[in-house]
């Protein structure tokens, strides 16, 4: 049981479900500026799908598919992207939203006044920061879970 994960029921259900969990996490990140949730919440949902895979299949199912160095690199990219987006509006102020209402294709559309259902292509740097935070959170928590799994494997063989 230890290296090959859990029973066949858990593994089958995991195969059905983990794609849907990852899709829902990306949805939460993408709609972070319109609906409840954001970068942290969506990233935590995606990372919980990774943790489900780790628990169900164990370290034998890992097989280098989730490389620890890659995850740490993507985490640093997320942090640096967040800082770079914050420095983008340094001409006016730190964290100044330069891209909002710029009319461009990159989340620059202007929102009509009054109650509306929400414009996805709006918000300027806020959705991009949500994506940066989401990348950082999902890879960081997945790295924590993988380190837990790999680091405790040595104890068992001794």
Partner 1 sequence: MIVQSILQIVILVLIVVGAALAVWFKDLLASVLALAAASLLVALEFYLLQAPDVAIAEAGIGAALTTAIYVIAIRRTARKEEE
Chain residues that interact with partner 1, rule: CB under 8 A? 1-2, 28, 36-38, 40-41, 44-45, 47-48, 51-52, 54-55, 141, 144-145, 148-149, 152-153, 155-156
- Which residues 6+ apart lie within 8 Å of 94 measured at CB? 86, 87
Smallest distance, partner 1 to C-beta of residue 87, A: 27
User: Could you tell me the smallest distance in angstroms from the CB atom of residue 152 to partner 1?
Assistant: 4
Please report how close the Cβ of residue 58 comes to partner 1 at its closest, in angstroms. Answer: 8
* 38 vs 99 by CB, closer to partner 1: 38
Do 10 and 56 meet the contact criterion of CB atoms below 8 Å apart? yes
Closer residue to partner 1 (CB): 29 or 128: 29
Question: From the CB of 17, what's the least distance to partner 1, in Å?
Answer: 12
∠ CA 79-83-88, rounded to 5°: 145
For residue 35, count other CB atoms closer than 10 A to its CB: 11
Nearer to partner 1, 18 or 96 (CB): 18
Rounded distance between C-alpha atoms, residue 17 and residue 21, angstroms: 6
Of 24, 45, 26, which Cα lies nearest the Cα of 131? 26
How many helices (H) and strands (E) would you count in the chain? Answer: 5, 0
Q: How far is the CB of 86 from partner 1 (least distance, A)?
A: 22
Q: Which is nearer to partner 1, 60 or 90 (CB)?
A: 60
Nearer to partner 1, 45 or 109 (CB): 45
The token duo for 95 is: 């964290």
């Amino acid at each position: 049981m230890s290296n090959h994960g859990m029973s066949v029921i858990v593994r089958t259900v995991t195969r059905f479900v983990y794609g849907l969990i990852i899709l829902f996490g990306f949805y939460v990140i993408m709609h972070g500026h319109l609906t409840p949730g954001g970068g942290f919440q969506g990233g935590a949902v995606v990372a919980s799908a990774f943790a489900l895979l780790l628990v169900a299949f164990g370290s034998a199912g890992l097989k280098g598919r989730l490389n620890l160095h890659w995850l740490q690199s993507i985490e640093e990219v997320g942090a640096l992207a967040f800082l770079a987006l914050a420095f983008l509006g340094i001409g006016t102020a730190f964290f100044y939203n330069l891209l909002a209402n710029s009319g461009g294709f990159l989340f620059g559309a202007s929102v009509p006044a009054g109650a509306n259902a929400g414009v996805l292509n709006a918000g300027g740097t806020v959705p991009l920061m949500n994506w940066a935070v989401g990348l950082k959170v999902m890879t960081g928590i997945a790295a924590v879970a993988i380190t837990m799994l790999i680091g405790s494997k040595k104890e068992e063989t001794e």
